[in-house]
Amino acid sequence: MTTKLKNTLLILCLGVTLFGCEKKPDDPVIPNEEEVITTLILTLTLSGGGVERVFSFTDLDGDGGNNPVITIDTLAANTTYSGTLVLLNQQKSPEEDITEEVKEESAEHQFFYEVNASNVTVSYRDKDTNGRPLGVSTEFVTGASESGSLKITLRHEPNKSAAGVDAGQIQNAGGETDIEVSFNLEVK
């Protein structure tokens, strides 16, 4: 073989090696794939300690299939509770605590608590890395006895600067819903 032919073959092989596996511009890039959330647990503890009240939602097979398992508790009237929220992926073994990821990416998440009961208020007790509400930690204050509902929504990339979002109003938040769960609420 001539030197010129050898050099041409070498360049051709080198070109195939370097550029054969090049990523194409239209290949999808998934910067932060959404996590699977099978379980939401809200634990309310009397301020100063005491009996815990638990609201939980578990749906191991996701939308469709089997109905979710929902557990609700009764709240005492005229009481203040400290709330802690936990999100889990129980499809993995061992189960994965999604709450930690939400905390790590706090500027990109916010929980919203929509209460349909006139004598129950919810306040944020934690903030994201920019000093805006997150909602993993809350305070619930109950008044007189009544029935109502509680809807908890986790939004991914909400507009935390929009009107009312700092106060927990979801209407202007935008973003994508990661999980939304509704509970009956009973205050006695």
Q: Stretch 18-27: mean pLDDT, rounded?
A: 44
* Stronger pLDDT, 4 or 167, i.e. the higher one: 167
Residues 6 or more apart in contact with residue 59 via CB below 8 angstroms: 38, 39, 66, 68, 69
Quick one: pLDDT at residue 35? 78
* Tokens 């920019």 found at: 130
Query: Model confidence at 146, in pLDDT bands (50, 70, 90)?
Result: very high
Least confident of 63-67, 83-87, 175-179: 63-67
* Tokens 């998934």 found at: 30
Q: Which two tokens stand for residue 31?
A: 């910067």
Cβ-based neighbour number of residue 168 at 10 Å: 20
Give the DSSP H or E segment for 85.
Answer: strand 80-89
Query: Model confidence at 34, in pLDDT bands (50, 70, 90)?
Result: low
Q: Stretch 110-125: mean pLDDT, rounded?
A: 97
Q: How far is residue 29's CA from residue 105's CA, in Å, rounded to a whole number? A: 19
**Beta-strand pair 74-75/176-187:** parallel
Give pLDDT tens digits for 77-91.
999 999 999 999 999
Calculate the average pLDDT of the chain. 86
Closest CA to 138 of 70, 72, 53: 53
Report whether 182 contacts 149 (CB < 8 A): yes
Report whether 57 contacts 40 (CB < 8 A): yes
Q: How far is residue 111's CA from residue 137's CA, in Å, rounded to a whole number? A: 10
Q: Give me the residue spans of the domains in the chain.
A: 34-187
Flag whether pLDDT at 47 surpasses 50.
yes
Query: Model confidence at 64, in pLDDT bands (50, 70, 90)?
Result: confident
CATH of 34-187, one of 2.50.20, 2.60.40, 1.20.1070, 1.10.3470: 2.60.40
* Stronger pLDDT, 12 or 68, i.e. the higher one: 68
Closest CA to 87 of 75, 79, 97, 77: 97
